[in-house]
Structure 1
Amino acid sequence: MSRPLGAARRMPRRPVLLGTAGLAMAAIRSAHAAQYPEQTVRYINLFPPGAATDLLSRAYCATMSTLAGEQFVVENKSGAGGTVGQAAIAQSPPDGYTLGLGSIASLGIAPSIYPSLPYDPARDFTYVAGIWQVPNLLFCNAAVPVRSLQDMVALVKANPGKYLYGSGGSGTSPHLTMEWLKQVAGLNLAHVPYRGGAPMLLDLIAGRVHFAFDNLASLLAPVRQGQIRPLAVTSKERSPLLPDVPTTNSVYPELEITSWGGLVGPARIPAQIVERLADLTHETLKAAELNRIFREQGATPWWLPPEEFAAFQQQQQRFFAGLVKRVGASAN
């Protein structure tokens, strides 16, 4: 039996209405993205106040606030080598108003150090932009009788099991760098992990631990005040801030590592907001005041757009998986 012509004509109306509504919603989302941000943006830093990442994050967020016209507010959420804060970012709404640090520790190293993570680095994040790179510094308590990396190796080998090293947490780049040094130099040096670099530094100055690696950014003041003694930097070349301190690769050619940090958010942030954040970050990294602060902290502005940052994270995860396997590092 044939259908009435009127019914045949009315059938497409629902798909057409749905399609029109979808286009309208897309236009609304696009308009909101163009106006982003329209309120305060929460930036989660993975380590405690006073740590290198905290100093650099606050300088970055201050410049972003000026350019964006809304505040980017730093919130410190530390623990487990940065993975506590990284998980908080992953579990946030994907609206662009909760972002944070993506670090070498929590996105490059942690997948190979921790048996289970509350996030998947490839699946659970939006990679927005690279922000900085900074070398690690090997240093010791000022009372320890060494003045070079070679002195340290000789002292520890002559006193196996006597000396301790601290780190800002298991799975951080300073922790893994020391484990790497222990392997290539054949050292017996016990690990004492802390909840961030700042409390570790206080204990090292007090003599409770003897050696450590940490980001150069947080160590310049205690070096200048004579509270700690620098022994070597992990960058390819000497730091202009500490030109008399040799590189680790001048003694052990393979021992070279640079920490990094970038802007990430939870997965599925709208593409227009990601583009806006990447553009703001690019402009922020050109700011003269930010560059001055970064240089003073031993950091280098490091611009990477979203796709390149995501690819870099995957490359770093593969590299550290191999390194962790070679040195036998674990989260303890």
Structure 2
Amino acid sequence: MARITRRAGLGLAAAALAAPALGQQQWPPGPIRFIGIFPPGGGTDILSRLWCQKMSEITGEQFIVENRSGSAGNIGTEAIARSAPDGRTIGLGSVAPLAIGPTLYRRLPFDPTRDFTYIGGLWQLPNLLVVNPEVPARTVPELIALVKANPGRYTYASSGSGTTVHLSGAMFAAQAGLELIHVPYRGGAPAHIDLIAGRVHMIFDNIPQALQEAKEGKVRALAVTGAKRSPQAPDIPAMAEFLPGFEITSWGSAVAPAGLPTSMVLRMAALTRQALESRDLAARFEENGAMPWIAGPEELAAFRAANEAAFAPVIRAAGARVD
């Protein structure tokens, strides 16, 4: 994809939105395949389907979600990279394979910089630190003091090594100077079962499930991992209020294979922005704990690279490497 200046990109994007129909030169008519890289029914799958539904309404074309899950999103991400760059196949670009994966895995079947066309951001989703109610800490400073006074005693669960759930805990331990024990699970459900039962002490999980359990009194919420407080939980402080610079969010984006023509990229980016600016989609995202994330092609590509660089030292410090 040729480099596009910000001013030229904005002008072309506006022109693309003004076009009355997709048009064969901008985006081929007919069904568009959207490759979802995680299992159906999960949070990212729900958010992907909401966006695809809105895109179908806007364009008049059918967006069909095809789930290609496995290997922490790597299988579906490879499928996107290996598709033809004709605008008929796009998919979910996620933090796990595109920003965490390059450092976590010694070998990947794709190159995040070389093998994709970045179209636009879709959502950002912070994690929420929750503790078992028996943990005698009601604030982050109290938790830090408690763990420092009992090194090696307290545990944090995750849905698997190398996830943002794991790395949130690793970053918390590193920045606060704590000795915490990581307990990885095969998915979030068994981790939450053990957390509620008191077999582990805390978890930094995606906000929808963790917040619901906090509202039910099953766990106690202490902080969100975004740079600022979440609209879904405005009374819960951000971790950055206690540890400046602390920020970890899950994110989803629209990506396509490398080599997609510039006219298609601009058209897709403009339509994606239009979908995210609709009040109904924003409301549905927020119901599922996510915030619409408007980022153009160059901004998204730069964000991904910066996110990879930010995660790399955390992954290395945690020793979370996969052959």
Structural mapping, 1:188-207, within 5 Å = 188-207=179-198
Deviation string, structure 1 residues 81-105 (Cα, Å, up to 9, x no partner)? 3333322322233333332221222
TM superposition shift of 1:35: 5.5
- Checking the alignment, whether the CA contact within 8 Å between 2:227 and 2:245 is kept in structure 1 is no
3-state DSSP of counterpart to 1:294 = helix
Partner of 2:84: 93
Structure 2 counterparts to residues 282-293 of structure 1, below 5 A = 282-293=273-284
- 1:234 lines up with 2:220 in the alignment: no
Which residue number in structure 2 is paired with residue 330 of structure 1?
Answer: 320
Cα distance per residue 1:119-171 (max 9 Å; x no partner): 10011111111111222211123444432223433444454444432223322
Give the C-alpha shift of residue 289 in structure 1: 0.7
Give the aligned partner of residue 96 of structure 2. Answer: 105
CA contact (8 A) 1:50 1:218 kept: no
Deviation at 1:292, TM superposition (A): 0.8
Q: TM-score, normalised by structure 1?
A: 0.79
- Aligned with residue 47 of structure 2, among 56, 60, 78: 56
Within a 5 Å distance, the mapping from 1:116-135 to structure 2 comes to 116-135=107-126
Q: Which residue of 1 aligns with 2:165?
A: 174
Q: Kindly report the root-mean-square deviation, in angstroms, between the aligned alpha carbons of the 2 structures.
A: 2.7
Counterparts of 1:253-268 in structure 2, within 5 Å, are: 253-268=244-259
Q: Which moved more, 1:295-304 or 1:123-132?
A: 295-304
Report if the CA contact (8 A) 2:121-2:295 is conserved.
yes
Q: Distance in 2 between matches of 1:44 and 1:225?
A: 35
- DSSP 3-state at the match of 1:32: coil
Structure 1: distance between partners of 2:186 and 2:83: 23
Contact 1:51 1:198 in 2 (8 A): no
2:47 maps to 1:38: no
User: How has the CA–CA distance of structure 1 residues 244 and 190 changed in structure 2, closer, same or farther, with 3 Å as cutoff?
Assistant: same
- Cα shift at 1:278: 1.4
Shift, 1:287, TM fit = 1.1
Partner amino acid for 1:182?
A
Distance 1:45 1:329, change over 3 A: farther
- Which AA in structure 2 matches 1:36? P
* Distance verdict in 2 for CA 1:254–1:329, change over 3 Å: farther
Matched-pair identity in %: 50
